[in-house]
Structure 1
Amino acid sequence: MDDLRYVSRYLRGYRLHLLVAALLIFVETIAELVIPFLMARIVDVGITSGDLSLVLATGRQMVAVAVLAGVCGFAYSRFSAAAAMGFGANLREAEYAHLQDYSFSNLDEFDSSSLVTRLTTDITVIQNAFVMGIRPLLRSPVMLVAGLVLACTMSARLALVFFAVLPFLAVALALIVRHVAPLYAVLQGVMDRLNETLQEDLVAIRAIKAYVREGHVADRFEQVNAALADTATHTFGGAVLNMPVFQTAMAIANVGLLWFGGQMVASGEIGVGTLTGFMSYVLLIMNSLNMISSVFLLLARAITSVGRVCEVLCEEPGMDPNPSGAKELADGSVEFRDVSFKYNPAAERNVLEHVTLRFAPGSTVGILGGTGSGKSSLVQLVPRLYDATEGTVMVGGRDVRDYDVHALRAGVGMVLQKNVLFSGTVRDNLRWGNPDATDEEILRACRLACVDEFLDRIGGLDADLGHGGGNVSGGQKQRLCIARTLLSHPKVMVFDDSTSAVDTATDARIRAGLAQVRDMTKVIIAQRVSSVRDSDQIVILDDGHVHATGTHEELLASDPIYQELYYSQTATQEDTHGAE
């Protein structure tokens, strides 16, 4: 119930629609309940006495009531649809907006496939429950109570037959709902796994074809799809049991009512019209019970989806964005003061341990280290993608926590290890760095990042990059990402192994272009010594610790790890040239 109360706030702007829909449903229900009384009057009074004028007058009343019920039903569908779709849109927008406030640590808690399901399938389930559930939820209790009262008014003795069947029907429907409700959570979890498999296979379709693994992924998808089909069959197979149970109970009730009602008509206790009207009320009552059971099943699934959506909406952002903090970086200096870091507070070991470093403003810093040494983790602390577990990270002479996080990230440009481009043109993608950039500024950034070497071949700034930049190579994608970051004119620019897919000659030209930008601190993570040898400072990380710092010459003369990297790469290059 807490989750339902929480999401109800997103009905804003549509509460009047919901109120009008509820009023229309009430009027429609009352109108439908009046019709059997009018029908009984026609049969017992008008036809029995041969009063044709009474029959016609009552018939006109029945038509008017039926038209009123139809108009109310039509108007209800319009108002309820508007309320449901608006509610779903508000909920989806709020969920998406909240995701934008997540820190990287929050995003680590959810699989992307699960987030997609929660933004699409779960919202759709809630909307469907809203559209299909409000009507029976409002009508059924009114019809049930009013139908029982009116049926008892017509013949209390005959109502005893119905009351004998009612408890068995109620218990059976309650057991069905109790069995099916937990299965919906399992169903949504299997849906998450299906989305995850689909997402992974579609993103990696080129690799799948390159390794001729179509059969393998087809088998894997078949297994996940079969699991979803089996789970859905088990879930909905239980859900539809309410219909045969309802039909059986209704058949038994009708037989009993006709048997005893026929005897009462024969003995003169009640009229044929009364029996006909009573049977109409029984039908309304049974239908209301059936609708109630269907609504419970619908709500059980919707409540599962509401809970999944609330998990996203109620997740507290992992860091305070500090909107009232400093809005500008004084310079590009970076300092780590006894910094330790781990991604999960429950982890036994830190990824970084007691790191103390300082990068002067405008300097070029290279960071080397083996896989898992903490290079990427270190630089992700600079723009507060994650917060340090212990110690302080300083940028521009301030603790990064003292900045408005948006201003900090605007001043710290980062070319991530996983390059991301979006559907659209080259110009559209590069303007992510600066929406107001002119074509001249874009072309200058392209020259610095060596994008101009292939720009004309792909169609210039208006070239379509395709989904995820699929129309360009890995090296071209890296250079476009560098140009995009340069357009933001950051005080600090971090390159997280962002030239790994380009050749050494192009790497050298990119470094030469970046050297022209004097007022920007450049932090370069690389695997090749040649990418960082001209840096003002080189940092060697080893298992999360700072192993050594110095220039190329200092480290080559004294540090064994740097010596091993340098000579192994030099020997490999010499062997390659010799083979050529």
Structure 2
Amino acid sequence: MRSTMKYLKPYSLQIGMVVILTLAGIMLELLLPTLMANVVDVGIMNGDMPYIVKTGGWMVISAIAAVLLTVAVSFFASKVALGFGRDVRRSLFVHVENFSLQTFDKIGTASLITRTTNDVKQVQDVLNMMLRMMTRAPLMLVGGIILAVSRDPGLSLIFLGALPILALLIFLISRKAIPLFGALQKKTDRLNLLVRENLTGIRVVRAFNRVGYEKDRFNIANEDFRDTGIKVNKMMALLFPVMIIVMNFTNIAIVWFGAVRIDQGLMQVGNLMAFLQYAMMILFSLIMLSMGFIMIPRAQASVKRINEVLMMEQIIKDPEKTENAVDKYGFVEFQNVTFRYEGAEKPVLTNISFQAKPGETTAVIGSTGAGKSTLVKLIPRFYDVESGAVLIDGVDVRTMSQKALRNKIGYVPQKASLFSGTIAENIQYGKQTAGEDEILKALETAQAIDFVSEKEDGLQSNIDQGGANLSGGQKQRLAIARALVRKPEIYIFDDSFSALDYKTDARLRSALKQETGNSTIIIVAQRVNTVIHADQIIVLNEGTIAGVGTHRELLSENRIYQEIVSSQATEEEGA
């Protein structure tokens, strides 16, 4: 809780204003029953019309001032709550952006979305309510009790029966509600996960006629969420009728015993009217407090989930003292690198050693699951090695700042990721200052210029979320252009040509050779045709290097590479 509440510090002045204005408003509201009692007991009883008009005027002024103060309190409370929500969301987003892929996978995308949106909204709403009601309720409760006791101490003993009942009710409901609110947020995670999976995989769902199955999955999760929500709402629904009953019986008792005291000459009518109003203020304060005690557990569950993310330490972070690579211009070296994913029994990569030199193309090939993609993800430091070292220009990547390291790299992922916006904006993601000529040049090299120029708006054509309005090959070529426009020292193509036909693949590799110049090129590929002209081919087998050499060398000496070539040749013949 403390780590989240620190975001309230910038709003200390506004919170102070809320407390001061609330106190002033309550004092005016507490004054009204006293003024009314004076109108009845002094003005009406004595027939003093000027006194009635004068006191009535003060009542009108006090009521208007109290309303204006309440509006001001609502304004400042909303400003604080919305500002707090904005700051926490921003911190969550920035914190998650710096997560390593390993940390990111721990929580999951759906849960992170829920925590950044729904959970922050829950805390924001409760904070708004607390500033408006929870500061008001205790002040009004204390003020009401003091003034009620000052009016008639004997009649105030009635509260000794009502208050314990209400307190016990609030305690019992809060104790049952806290675990249910936590469960409700987890079920929200589950709903988000199912919706996200269904929307992103809609083509697969329809292709395999699994719409009915997905509906059933969603209905189960949806009904589970509904049932938990009903349990919570039943408790809250029970609270208010019971409180209203207690309030009404309290009123009956006050009127009954108050009438007896008036008959005995121990109390005046105006005093009884004022006492009734103070009693209502006290009981309404308790209702507001009970509302807070019901909502706070839900906020606590959300705060706990937010803190889980904020308190997660960055596994991959910059060292206190960074080193800068200055020589060799993109020289990549793996020295006895071993890596395993968290919780895995055996390493994905074991004792990997090789060099990728500037001006040369290094290809990585192997069967599915051999560790090819994992290997290239170690270069931009998406993961840290378990042992050994990855060096760029002679400097361990763990001693470089992540920004400086990644500025050296143009990375094209295995699954091309595009963002909603225009084609030009997606290419400029690689280099924000890239002009139209640079973008066109990158598109031409990536063999994407033809389909882009055919679009009506050209570079300003819109791309749907995830590139849904493009084919797989078009997405890959735009992702390649995004890396090319950056003109980095090191290009990493993680199986980035898989959706291209052989003709386009060949043209692209030829254009890349001319465009990349002295840069280091590392290509992960499944097809032998993609790597056949590489200066060096690394053959991976079950996380170890099974061979290094040119295509001819490996074809004559390496059994695993021969099997890969043979299997692909057989596939092509069969096709």
Aligned equivalent of 2:55: 58
Q: Distance in 2 between matches of 1:160 and 1:94?
A: 51
Report the alpha carbon displacement of residue 13 of structure 1 after superposing the two structures with TM.
4.1
Aligned equivalent of 1:488: 486
Identify the range of structure 1 (298-307 vs 388-397) with the bigger mean alpha-carbon deviation: 298-307
* 1:44 corresponds to which of 24, 27, 41: 41
Query: Would you say 1:271 and 2:282 are equivalent positions?
Result: no
Q: Is the 8 A contact 2:324 2:395 kept in 1?
A: no
Report the alpha carbon displacement of residue 241 of structure 1 after superposing the two structures with TM.
2.3
Aligned equivalent of 1:145: 142
Query: Would you say 1:318 and 2:321 are equivalent positions?
Result: no
* 2:339 corresponds to which of 327, 338, 341: 341
Query: Would you say 1:244 and 2:241 are equivalent positions?
Result: yes
Q: Distance in 2 between matches of 1:82 and 1:407?
A: 39
Q: Distance in 1 between matches of 2:506 and 2:349?
A: 30
Q: Distance in 2 between matches of 1:513 and 1:324?
A: 40
Q: Distance in 1 between matches of 2:326 and 2:178?
A: 54
Report the alpha carbon displacement of residue 234 of structure 1 after superposing the two structures with TM.
1.2
* 1:504 corresponds to which of 502, 505, 513: 502
SS class of match (1:534):
coil
Q: Distance in 2 between matches of 1:108 and 1:335?
A: 28
SS class of match (1:413):
strand
Identify the range of structure 1 (310-319 vs 24-33) with the bigger mean alpha-carbon deviation: 310-319
Amino acid across the alignment from 2:481: A
Q: Distance in 2 between matches of 1:410 and 1:418?
A: 21
Report the alpha carbon displacement of residue 496 of structure 1 after superposing the two structures with TM.
0.7
Q: Is the 8 A contact 2:492 2:522 kept in 1?
A: yes
- Residues 384-413 of structure 1 show CA distances to partners (whole Å, capped at 9, x for unaligned) of 111111111111111111222111111121
Query: Would you say 1:567 and 2:549 are equivalent positions?
Result: no
Identify the range of structure 1 (443-452 vs 319-328) with the bigger mean alpha-carbon deviation: 319-328
Q: Distance in 2 between matches of 1:178 and 1:240?
A: 16
Query: Would you say 1:419 and 2:416 are equivalent positions?
Result: yes
SS class of match (1:332):
coil
Aligned equivalent of 2:528: 529
Q: Distance in 2 between matches of 1:328 and 1:462?
A: 37
Report the alpha carbon displacement of residue 382 of structure 1 after superposing the two structures with TM.
0.6
Q: Is the 8 A contact 2:339 2:386 kept in 1?
A: yes
Report the alpha carbon displacement of residue 37 of structure 1 after superposing the two structures with TM.
1.3
Aligned equivalent of 1:479: 477
Q: Distance in 1 between matches of 2:459 and 2:473?
A: 17
SS class of match (1:391):
strand
Q: Give the TM-score, by structure 1 length.
A: 0.95
Aligned equivalent of 1:296: 293
**For residues 324 and 437 of structure 1, do their structure 2 counterparts lie closer, same or farther at Cα, with a shift above 3 Å needed?**
farther
Aligned equivalent of 1:465: 463
- Residues 403-434 of structure 1 show CA distances to partners (whole Å, capped at 9, x for unaligned) of 22111111121110111011122111111111
Query: Would you say 1:175 and 2:172 are equivalent positions?
Result: yes
Identify the range of structure 1 (9-18 vs 346-355) with the bigger mean alpha-carbon deviation: 9-18
Q: Is the 8 A contact 2:325 2:394 kept in 1?
A: no
Report the alpha carbon displacement of residue 58 of structure 1 after superposing the two structures with TM.
1.6
SS class of match (1:471):
coil
Report the alpha carbon displacement of residue 484 of structure 1 after superposing the two structures with TM.
0.8
Q: Distance in 2 between matches of 1:268 and 1:149?
A: 23
Q: Percent identity?
A: 39
* 1:23 corresponds to which of 20, 24, 31: 20
Matches within 5 A, 1:69-218: 69-218=66-215
Q: Is the 8 A contact 2:170 2:293 kept in 1?
A: no
| Pairwise CA RMSD | 1.6
Q: Is the 8 A contact 2:126 2:299 kept in 1?
A: yes
* 1:228 corresponds to which of 225, 232, 247: 225
Q: Is the 8 A contact 2:325 2:395 kept in 1?
A: no
Q: Distance in 2 between matches of 1:329 and 1:233?
A: 64
Q: Is the 8 A contact 1:416 1:496 kept in 2?
A: yes
Q: Distance in 1 between matches of 2:277 and 2:22?
A: 19
Q: Distance in 2 between matches of 1:428 and 1:343?
A: 34
Identify the range of structure 1 (12-21 vs 468-477) with the bigger mean alpha-carbon deviation: 12-21
Q: Distance in 1 between matches of 2:159 and 2:73?
A: 31
Q: Distance in 1 between matches of 2:70 and 2:110?
A: 39
* 2:443 corresponds to which of 443, 446, 464: 446
- Residues 432-463 of structure 1 show CA distances to partners (whole Å, capped at 9, x for unaligned) of 11112222222222222111232222343222
Structure 2, gaps ≥5 residues long = none
Q: Is the 8 A contact 1:380 1:386 kept in 2?
A: yes
Report the alpha carbon displacement of residue 381 of structure 1 after superposing the two structures with TM.
0.5
Q: Distance in 1 between matches of 2:55 and 2:47?
A: 13
Q: Distance in 1 between matches of 2:419 and 2:313?
A: 28
- Residues 208-241 of structure 1 show CA distances to partners (whole Å, capped at 9, x for unaligned) of 2333332222222222222221111112221232
Report the alpha carbon displacement of residue 32 of structure 1 after superposing the two structures with TM.
1.0
Aligned residues: 572
SS class of match (1:394):
strand
Aligned equivalent of 2:554: 555
Identify the range of structure 1 (375-384 vs 173-182) with the bigger mean alpha-carbon deviation: 173-182
Identify the range of structure 1 (446-455 vs 414-423) with the bigger mean alpha-carbon deviation: 446-455
Identify the range of structure 1 (171-180 vs 97-106) with the bigger mean alpha-carbon deviation: 97-106
**For residues 478 and 360 of structure 1, do their structure 2 counterparts lie closer, same or farther at Cα, with a shift above 3 Å needed?**
same
Q: Is the 8 A contact 2:93 2:116 kept in 1?
A: yes
Report the alpha carbon displacement of residue 9 of structure 1 after superposing the two structures with TM.
2.7
Q: Is the 8 A contact 1:329 1:491 kept in 2?
A: no
Report the alpha carbon displacement of residue 324 of structure 1 after superposing the two structures with TM.
5.4
SS class of match (1:241):
helix
Q: Is the 8 A contact 1:137 1:292 kept in 2?
A: yes
Query: Would you say 1:367 and 2:364 are equivalent positions?
Result: yes
Q: Distance in 2 between matches of 1:71 and 1:291?
A: 20
